[in-house]
Homo-oligomer: A and B are copies of this chain.
Amino acid sequence: MITKNKMRPRGRPRRFDPDQAVETAQQLFHAKGYDAVSVSDLTEAFGIKPPSFYAAFGSKAKLYERVLERFTRTEAIPMPDLLRQDRPVAEGLKAVIEDAAHRFAADPDASGCMVLEGIRCIDSEARSAARSYHANSDDMLYRFIAERHPDQARHLADYMSTTLAGLSSMARNGQSLDRLLASARLAGLAIEQELSG
């Protein structure tokens, strides 16, 4: 079993790389938001015509789903790493918020969180795709907390989601890294206080 990867398929070969296109699409969607990126923006950036676009990706929303998958795999907050079971709960939560502040302000052309911004877009297909990723990340936060603080888990996870959504908003407003970090530090005070009480 050597072949299969190198072997060319039968028909006319692609003149563009779909994975590269997904990466380009991620930049566009992150910079401008799903609704503000048109299919013609995408095809132009890819250097292809609409029929090639639809043959490769099916629809704008399906491409967005691929972009979201790539985003969570490559650029989203690495929750599993930050929320290890042996880590103090407050420490893990504060690490998530601080990591978020850094990530959300890292690239001025891709500020905020793609998922948190996606859940507010107008297109319902794209919105529900983003929502499922958001629900998953909320779940990870909740389970991490509930393991040791089941009674406070719901409220703390909600507070985390609220703070992350706020940080993403402020990042998209152009707020600088140090101001985001200052807000992150304040949010940490609430977490400490709630878990020490």
From residue 25 to 67 of chain A, which have CB atoms closer than 8 A to chain B?
33, 35-36
**Cβ-based interface call for A129 (8 A):** no
Whether A182 and B165, one on each chain, are in contact in the complex, defined by CB atoms closer than 8 angstroms, is: no
Question: Across the two chains, which residue of chain B brings its CB closest to A119?
Answer: B173
From residue 131 to 176 of chain A, which have CB atoms closer than 8 A to chain B?
154-156, 158-159, 161-167, 169-170, 172-173, 175
Q: Which residues of B contact A70 (CB under 8 A)?
A: none
Question: Across the two chains, which residue of chain B brings its CB closest to A191?
Answer: B186
Q: Which residues of B contact A158 (CB under 8 A)?
A: 170, 175, 179, 182-183
Q: Which residues of B contact A5 (CB under 8 A)?
A: none
Give the bracket for the number of chain A residues in contact with chain B: 35 or more
Distance in angstroms between the alpha carbons of A105 and B126 in the assembled complex? 24
Distance in angstroms between the alpha carbons of A161 and B161 in the assembled complex? 15
Number of copies: 2
**Cβ-based interface call for A110 (8 A):** no
**Cβ-based interface call for A106 (8 A):** no
Closest 10 CB pairs of A and B: A166-B166, A162-B166, A190-B190, A165-B169, A155-B182, A189-B193, A159-B186, A165-B166, A189-B190, A162-B183
> A: which residues have CB within 8 A of B?
33, 35-36, 116-117, 119-120, 122, 154-156, 158-159, 161-167, 169-170, 172-173, 175, 179-180, 182-183, 185-194
| Known contacts A163-B163, A165-B169, then 13 further A-B pairs from the complex at CB < 8 Å, ordered by chain A residue | A35-B35, A36-B122, A154-B179, A158-B175, A161-B166, A162-B187, A164-B166, A166-B166, A166-B169, A169-B169, A186-B191, A186-B194, A189-B194
